[in-house]
């Protein structure tokens, strides 16, 4: 879709303003995308864990569409196409409060949500068809909260991690080099993001395979799947983890450093294991590669939200910064980053008493 931005006019702008008004963000109807609309879009993006740039691109537009729906507005079910919306998030949260596992409350009606809904329907004498219609909605509204004193989905996610064991051998890890094909991503100082991400992915692939990990790459050198297609590949493979590799850019050449992202809304809903993995990745890369620490952040980007396993996105430096670009152009630096990623994955599965300090593990020790 075409990006909608400040200064634009037309039906698409009016649609954006209508959704923002319904959310209480006070974007007025008018002749176009004015300053107040820009501020309202930025506020919405910040609330939803998106990049607050004031641009209505595919991610922001999809989030606006999802925000239109409240639980009860429509019948919810899962067939061949997943429904997405705030009403799905509300359903997932309600079922989790009642003790039924729907996965994390990501607003995506997938097989886990359907299974949790069917379990609820069977338990309460309803037809277990996996459809949230009027009868199921009434039952959900009449029941009080049953799960108290904790966050059950966080406990379930952590338990799944520990049940897989501490060894890396046998795990399935999807490595996602960003961009690809005709989409080069960030380009500066004679380097491009897609090539750097692919090279880094290849270096990480070899190290993971040496540890007995089954590794899947989401693309080759000449292809560029959408984020939804990359997530679908990981979900079909039943992967244990997904690592998405990118390089950042900025208008100012002074911007530098590394940042890591995991699924999270910023208001409580998060992937617990994803957040922990993001923290391990960030700390290991900073300690080993010497990049400025731009910290860990929750985001609701499609790839992080729609994957059914813990997923993180790493932005390894700013290609528009001369210092970061010089490091990224050095193959030995990319080896260092690949080793940091391997160690972070290893530490994720180690029990707390065996987990060494950041920067202490080395590849020979692991092998």
pLDDT tens, residue by residue, 254-285: 999 999 999 988 666 788 899 999 999 999 99
| For residues 318-334, average pLDDT | 97
Query: Same structural domain for residues 250 and 123?
Result: no
Instruction: Please indicate, yes or no, if residue 74 is contained in any of the structural domains.
Output: no
149-158 confidence digits (pLDDT tens) = 455 566 667 7
Total of domains in the chain: 3
What pLDDT does residue 176 have? 98
Confidence category of residue 286, pLDDT binned at 50, 70, 90: very high
Q: Which residue, among 9, 7, 33, 366, has the nearest Cα to 213 in the 3D structure?
A: 366
Mind giving me the DSSP string for 240-273?
SEEEEEEEE--SSTT---EEEEEEB-SSS-B-HH
178-236 confidence digits (pLDDT tens) = 999 999 999 999 999 999 999 999 999 999 999 999 999 999 989 999 999 999 999 99
Instruction: Please indicate, yes or no, if residue 36 is contained in any of the structural domains.
Output: yes
Query: Same structural domain for residues 228 and 129?
Result: no
Q: Is 175 left (phi over 0), alpha (psi -120 to 50) or beta?
A: beta
Residue with tokens 């790839």: 303
What pLDDT does residue 157 have? 73
Q: Give whichever of 165-174, 196-205, 265-274, 350-359 has the largest mean pLDDT.
A: 196-205
Instruction: Please indicate, yes or no, if residue 156 is contained in any of the structural domains.
Output: no
Picking from 93, 114, 149, the residue at the C-terminal end of a domain is 149
Query: Same structural domain for residues 282 and 361?
Result: yes
Instruction: Please indicate, yes or no, if residue 160 is contained in any of the structural domains.
Output: no
Query: Same structural domain for residues 212 and 302?
Result: yes
Residue 141 β-bridge partners: none
Instruction: Please indicate, yes or no, if residue 77 is contained in any of the structural domains.
Output: no
Rounded to an integer, what distance in angstroms lies between the CA atom of residue 74 and that of residue 83? 11
Q: Which CATH number fits the domain that encloses residue 46?
A: 1.10.101.10
Picking from 120, 149, 178, the residue at the C-terminal end of a domain is 149
2-36 confidence digits (pLDDT tens) = 899 999 999 999 999 999 999 999 777 777 999 99
- Check if the beta carbon of residue 263 is closer than 8 Å to that of residue 270: yes
Query: Same structural domain for residues 188 and 317?
Result: yes
Query: Same structural domain for residues 26 and 117?
Result: no
Query: Same structural domain for residues 145 and 217?
Result: no
133-142, 265-274, 316-325, 329-338: least confident range: 265-274
Query: Same structural domain for residues 28 and 138?
Result: no
Task: Output the pTM of the full model.
Answer: 0.83
For residue 11, give both structure tokens: 């039906």
Instruction: Please indicate, yes or no, if residue 71 is contained in any of the structural domains.
Output: no
Helix runs in the chain, H state only: 11-22, 35-47, 58-66, 86-97, 111-123, 134-142, 152-163, 193-210, 227-237, 272-289, 302-306, 322-328, 331-349, 363-366
Task: Return the number of other C-beta atoms located less than 10 Å from residue 131's C-beta.
Answer: 18
For residue 238, give both structure tokens: 């039943």
Q: Which domain holds residue 91?
A: 83-149
More confident of the two residues 84 and 218: 218
Q: Looking at residue 200, what DSSP letter applies?
A: H
Query: Same structural domain for residues 303 and 247?
Result: yes
What pLDDT does residue 246 have? 98
By CB atoms closer than 10 A (0-12, 13-18, 19+), residue 133 is middle
Rounded to an integer, what distance in angstroms lies between the CA atom of residue 240 and that of residue 160? 10
Residue with tokens 């029990």: 351
First-residue to last-residue Cα distance in the chain: 47
Query: Same structural domain for residues 95 and 188?
Result: no
pLDDT over 80 at 362, yes or no: no
What pLDDT does residue 154 have? 63
What pLDDT does residue 163 have? 76
């Amino acid at each position: 879709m075409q990006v909608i931005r400040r200064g634009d006019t037309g039906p698409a702008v009016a649609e954006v303003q209508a959704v923002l008004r319904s959310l209480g963000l006070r974007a007025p109807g008018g002749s176009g995308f004015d300053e107040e609309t820009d501020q309202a879009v930025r506020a919405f993006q910040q609330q939803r864990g998106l990049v607050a740039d004031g641009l209505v691109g595919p991610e922001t537009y999809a989030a606006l569409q999802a925000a239109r729906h409240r639980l009860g507005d429509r019948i919810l079910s899962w067939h061949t196409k997943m429904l997405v919306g705030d009403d799905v998030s509300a359903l997932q949260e309600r079922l989790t409060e009642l003790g039924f596992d729907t996965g994390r409350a990501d607003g995506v009606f997938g097989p886990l949500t359907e299974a949790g809904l069917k379990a609820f329907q069977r338990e309460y004498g309803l037809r277990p068809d996996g459809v949230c219609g009027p009868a199921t909605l009434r039952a959900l509204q009449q029941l009080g909260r049953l799960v108290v004193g904790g966050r059950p989905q966080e406990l379930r996610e952590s338990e799944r991690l520990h049940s897989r064991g501490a060894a890396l051998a046998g795990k399935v890890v999807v490595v996602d080099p960003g961009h690809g094909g005709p989409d080069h991503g960030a380009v500066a100082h004679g380097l491009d993001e897609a090539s750097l991400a692919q090279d880094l992915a290849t270096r990480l692939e070899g190290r993971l395979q040496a540890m007995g990990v089954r590794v899947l790459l989401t693309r080759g050198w000449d292809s560029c799947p959408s984020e939804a297609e990359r997530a679908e590949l990981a979900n079909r493979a039943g992967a244990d983890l997904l690592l998405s590799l990118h390089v950042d850019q900025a208008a100012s050449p002074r911007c530098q450093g590394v940042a890591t992202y995991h699924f999270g809304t910023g208001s409580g809903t998060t992937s617990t294991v994803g957040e922990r993995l993001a923290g391990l990745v960030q700390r290991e890369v900073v300690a080993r590669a010497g990049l400025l620490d731009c910290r860990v952040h929750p985001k609701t980007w499609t790839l992080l939200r729609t994957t059914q396993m813990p997923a993180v996105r790493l932005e390894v430096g700013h290609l528009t910064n001369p210092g970061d670009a010089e490091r990224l152009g050095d193959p030995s630096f990319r080896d260092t980053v690949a080793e940091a990623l391997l160690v972070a994955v290893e530490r994720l599965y180690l029990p707390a008493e065996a987990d060494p300090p950041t920067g202490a593990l080395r590849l020979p020790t692991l092998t």
